[in-house]
A and B are shown apart, each in its own frame.
Chain A
């Protein structure tokens, strides 16, 4: 009891002294929680981006908005790290002309991840500040107002979330497991690694568009609610559609082909694709973004293969030039060799791949599909000989491709179809499509497909169709493999898999 009493007394005394000092807090106006911004006013205040705070701005007074990344109080001063996207700067609140003891205490107690407006003087740092992107300057705070307060307990710590995974869990430092990340995706996406990944992904889409538009392609939009399953009946999501049911598109293929039949000649589309595959692997999602290309050609489907491969090479080159910072940021957490490629892209034939695998001791049949381990092994063999992470495998056996694939004109066991690989994993699958309704009917029958169900598809070729070929790329896989990441969930902002439908 006495101890409790004395503690109570002590508390009283402290709050008393605080009250008395609050009265003569000379910096009272220089800090606090600002009222909720409800667009009351349009002040002339200019907010400077943290990434623009460099030595050129030394001794200037600036306003900055950022999140409290970390804070550390030490006697009469408090060090804050303010973060804005992947950039951060050290800020110092010290008792002096502008800040009182109370202000320092206030600053030190702002919860991490809160958003603050800070006015301060940019000062040249005496020595490089490690752990900050703005290493040469720091901010001497004169005013600090909380704009949006974060809750005190964070579901995950940002510093833990960017820590490289060290083998053997060295020195027991915490990392964050994938489910915790995905459950709290909003916070996980704030990390420098996530910021870089999704900037780069946006770059892939942009480069894809840029390159194809330059090549004379037309961007199209295709419906995602469809009446018939596009690639056979399996793996399709059924949705209720008024009094009947409909399906979610597994690929925009049918519509791309219809555009070709409608004389658009070269089309592409970027959109969601749905696969009801119950596979929980590192590279399968139930919804992903498809980058799809379809193109009419003159005489040989290699015209299309070359165009698609060149598009990818232009994307790789563009990423290499424009996104070096992002690549390096991701590399800090997930170290990986830079992505290598050849121009023009190396094109091997399926039979060569089989020969290479057999030479390496793999037993497989001529018309057998590549298993995932064989795909990986082949990737290593090709890399060793040609030093490229990207190549095309042409002329797949007809037996392992869908019914609409054009058979090879010479060897009926082969087909005019191809896959493209990045770091030994398939990213694109494509083929010359059969544009002749009669042959298409024949092939569908051979595959035991109910002709009634694909009548609309076959009918679209009845009024004259140009020879054409195309393919589809998975955006998340390209991002993952370009950066050498190991799970496609890292490159999907809000991934959907058989076990995850939220957030």
Chain B
């Protein structure tokens, strides 16, 4: 906790006035209120100090090494993830993931993840247009392709409802009772990717997380200088491994590839990045999304 928060200077004008004979009762009340707040701040500070001591001490309550050891990287294509376990118990309705997105900036990574999820689960996909948007390009309305909806709704494992809507950034809603909406393309991508049930150790998942943030905040929304820096570090990482993190495709690759496509800096990318992009595009989910960009 920064110590300047409690700077004595703050107190000076009040205590100065205090020395005078006549003390305004409202001023007095204000002063006691201030003291109370300061007291609470000190309490908070000591609580935080205690916590940080606990974290920094090696023999604290939990052991980081334990987590690092649970490293069982399995390819995306294997089955085994239990949706009920991941999404919580429900009452038998279709587990419908609702994503609101602005047609002026389609969240490509979520579309890639959608196709990947379709390879894994029986998914009922739907595209709607919200009354807040006037018109949506035909290609976006058909971004899930032709769907054969032959089965009753409840026989699907998952629902994926994409709503083109006037929203500043993509938004995801799942269970309105137990979950708050998830905002931002990167965060939704993380959630969707977690449905594959991959288990990563702490270091790997931190790396994946970090690449997702880098892709969204620096590659997609950052300045050209930032973009250049990201491309260089991507190039370095891809020199060592086939994918951004390790030897399996992760959400980091998906989000980064889509960010590159949308910023149009794909052509200026260094060699390793170019090679990696080719490997992405060889996968069907990526190539179908590329058609939307044209």
> Which residues from chain A sit less than 8 Å from chain B, CB to CB?
316-317, 320, 339-344, 346, 349, 351-352, 354-356, 358-360, 381, 384-388, 410
A354, B131: Cα distance in complex, Å: 27
A22, B147: Cα distance in complex, Å: 86
In the complex, B163 has a CB within 8 A of chain A: yes
- Minimum C-beta distance from B130 to chain A (A): 6
- Minimum C-beta distance from B253 to chain A (A): 31
- Minimum C-beta distance from A406 to chain B (A): 16
In the complex, B98 has a CB within 8 A of chain A: yes
- A352 and B153 form a contact (CB under 8 A): yes
A360, B94: Cα distance in complex, Å: 16
In the complex, B80 has a CB within 8 A of chain A: no
- B154 and A352 form a contact (CB under 8 A): yes
Which residue, B98, B161, B177, has most C-beta atoms of chain A within 10 A? B177
A320/B131 contact (C-beta < 8 A), A352-B154, A385-B176, A387-B165 known? yes
A320, B131: Cα distance in complex, Å: 9
In the complex, B122 has a CB within 8 A of chain A: no
A343/B129 contact (C-beta < 8 A), A351-B92, A359-B177 known? yes
In the complex, B190 has a CB within 8 A of chain A: no
Closest to A302 in B: B149
25 A-B residue pairings within 8 Å (CB atoms): A339-B131, A340-B131, A340-B132, A343-B129, A343-B131, A344-B128, A349-B152, A351-B92, A351-B154, A352-B93, A352-B94, A352-B153, A354-B91, A355-B90, A355-B93, A356-B91, A359-B90, A359-B93, A359-B175, A359-B177, A384-B176, A385-B96, A385-B98, A385-B176, A386-B98
In the complex, B173 has a CB within 8 A of chain A: yes
A316/B131 contact (C-beta < 8 A), A349-B153, A351-B154 known? yes
| CB-contact partner of B128 in A317, A320, A346, A381, under 8 A | A346
Write out the residue numbers on chain A whose beta carbons fall within 8 Å of the beta carbon of B94.
349, 352
Write out the residue numbers on chain B whose beta carbons fall within 8 Å of the beta carbon of A339.
131
Beyond known contacts A342-B128, A359-B175: 7 more, CB 8 A cutoff: A349-B152, A349-B153, A351-B154, A352-B153, A359-B177, A387-B100, A387-B163
- Minimum C-beta distance from A304 to chain B (A): 16
Closest to A347 in B: B153
Q: Annotate B153-193 by CB proximity to A: 1 below 8 A, 0 otherwise.
A: 11000000101010000000101110000000000000000
- B91 and A341 form a contact (CB under 8 A): no
Write out the residue numbers on chain A whose beta carbons fall within 8 Å of the beta carbon of B152.
349, 410
A349, B149: Cα distance in complex, Å: 14
3 residue pairs, one from A and one from B, having the closest CB atoms: A355-B93, A355-B91, A352-B93
Q: Which residues of chain B (79-105) have a CB below 8 Å from chain A?
A: 90-94, 96, 98, 100
A351, B90: Cα distance in complex, Å: 12
A359, B130: Cα distance in complex, Å: 26
A406, B258: Cα distance in complex, Å: 48
- B131 and A359 form a contact (CB under 8 A): no
A385, B173: Cα distance in complex, Å: 6
- Minimum C-beta distance from B145 to chain A (A): 16
Which residue, B93, B100, B130, B153, has most C-beta atoms of chain A within 10 A? B93
A349, B175: Cα distance in complex, Å: 17
Write out the residue numbers on chain A whose beta carbons fall within 8 Å of the beta carbon of B154.
349, 351-352
